[in-house]
Structure 1
Amino acid sequence: MRKLSLFIVFCLLFTSIYAQVKVRPGIKMGINNSEITNSYLDPKTGIYVGGFASIQFNKRYTLQPELLYSQQGGNGNSRAPEDLNIQYISIGLANKFFVSPNIGFHLVLGPTLDINAENSAISVINGNGDLDKTPIDFAFFGGVGYEFPFGLVLEARYKQGLLDVELFNQEGEYVPNYSENHLNSVFQIGAAYKFEF
């Protein structure tokens, strides 16, 4: 009898929690202003675009897995004559915290895994020949946004890479960055739309 009672309580709790969870798919796109820290490269403007699933657990917290295509890197100049173009596939996990249940203003933060989708040869940073970029980057992002009741979301985020943009020569040998790391640093601003089903 006790096991049956526990089972019924568990089912009621699970049903109650599940009934409050609301899942909405969506699309998003925006502009990146990216740079490689401690390099001679100028900032680079690119785009990001992709999809997500908004999982609303309650009126104050939403978990949002994201899959994005993101253009990052830096622009060449007289000191670094070649552009650095990095095409990332970003897998992120955004945590949204709403300041009030009835207002769309929210804070967002979370981790992301960036996978280099095109590891083509480049000549950048130290100008010592053709170099390849590191295949992945781990990053954390934070930002603010506003969500309208009809599904439109506006957000601004800052994403900081944690792994050195390591460079390798054509023989596969690591080219050291000496005393300073070269990290991805990206400011993002964009819009998203959540579909209602």
Structure 2
Amino acid sequence: MKKLLLLSLFLIISSNLFAQSKSQLGIRLGANSARVLNSELDTKTGIYAGLFLAVRFTDSYTMQPEIAYSNQGGNASFRNGEDLNINYVSIGLANKFFVSKNQGFHFTLGPSLDINFDDNFINLINDNGDNLEITPIDIAVFGGIGYEFDFGLAMELRFKQGLIDLDFNDSGEYGGNSEENQLNRVIQIGLAYKFNM
């Protein structure tokens, strides 16, 4: 009975919050400057593109669930080899904190789950007979700054740090020390636009 009462109370509060909030659908598009830490790969330029739903709860806070395509990896110019391309579907939850009551300047902070749906890493077998592949998911945290204009356009700069080892260090394919984690690190710069609904 208590669980049912708590669930009902939670649903009522949630529905009131969402009813009082203003939601807008939007798009994000920009460039990635990606690298893999603790490897011999150089910085690689890629793109990101996606959709978001901005739910404005107060004048100073917006919760923004996002889904995006993100091209990451690294440049193998050190040996004129093939660049490492990792294509992720990134599911994030951006929390935007506005400095003033008007939209304008804001800080962004949040987590993301990145799912590797395609990469060009050649599957190798190590000395133990194990098949070496890039980790299929990455958990990341991101933070950034931006400026949002009254008509819905925003400029954004974000820093994103992966937390899960890509797990290809035993291959020797891209160098690195097997005792150090090889992690995604991305700087994103781009634009976002919210549609009036």
Aligned to 2:165: 164
Seen in structure 2, the aligned counterparts of structure 1 residues 80 and 41 have a Cα distance that, compared at 3 Å, is farther
The equivalences for 1:2-151 within 5 A come to: 17-79=17-79, 81-122=81-122, 131-151=132-152
2:84–2:120: 8 Å Cα contact kept in structure 1?
A: no
Question: In the alignment, is the contact (CA less than 8 A) between 2:61 and 2:95 conserved in 1?
Answer: yes
SS of residue in 2 equivalent to 1:78: helix
Change (3 A) 1:51 1:68: same
Give the drift of 1:79: 4.3
Check 1:103–1:118 CA distance in 2 against 1; reply closer, same or farther (3 A cut): closer
Give the SS at the match of 1:133: coil
In the TM superposition, what whole-angstrom CA distance separates every residue of 1:62-114 from its partner, at most 9, and x where no partner exists?
00000000000001123473311000000000000001102510000000000
Give the whole-Å Cα distance in 1 for the aligned partners of 2:72 and 2:111.
17
Q: Aligned residues: percent identity?
A: 55
Q: Which AA in structure 2 matches 1:65?
A: P
Deviation at residue 136 of structure 1 after TM alignment = 0.4
Between the aligned partners of 1:30 and 1:185, the Cα distance in structure 2 is: 16
Superposed displacement of residue 15, structure 1? 7.9
Q: Is the contact made by 1:40 and 1:80 (CA closer than 8 Å) also made in structure 2? A: no
TM-score under structure 2 length normalisation: 0.81
**Superposed displacement of residue 16, structure 1:** 6.2
Unaligned runs of 5+ residues in structure 1 are: 1-11, 125-129, 171-175
Shift of 1:116: 0.2
Which is higher, the Rg of structure 1 or of structure 2?
A: 1
CA distance in 2, matches of 1:18, 1:82: 48
- Tell me how far 1:179 sits from its aligned partner: 1.8
Q: Is the 8 A contact 1:82 1:122 kept in 2?
A: no
Using the TM superposition, name which of 20-29 and 75-84 deviates more.
Answer: 75-84
The alignment yields a C-alpha RMSD, in angstroms, of 2.8
Residues 150-184 of structure 1: per-residue CA shift (max 9 Å, x gap):
000110000000000112999xxxxx952211100
**Aligned-partner residue type, residue 159 of structure 2:** Y
- Cα distance in 1 for partners of 2:14, 2:161 equals 37
Structure 2 alignment gaps of length 5 or more: 1-11, 125-130
| Aligned CA distance change for structure 1 residues 195 and 120 (closer, same or farther; 3 Å) | same
CA positional deviation for 1:58:
0.8
Do the aligned residues in 1 keep the contact of 2:31 with 2:190 (CA within 8 Å)? yes
Write the distance in 2 (CA, Å) between the matches of 1:84 and 1:111.
24
In the TM superposition, 1:177-196 aligns within 5 A as: 178-196=178-196
- Length, aligned pairs only: 178
What is the Cα deviation at residue 133 of structure 1? 1.3
CA distance change for structure 1 residues 107 and 95 in 2, over 3 Å: closer, same or farther?
same
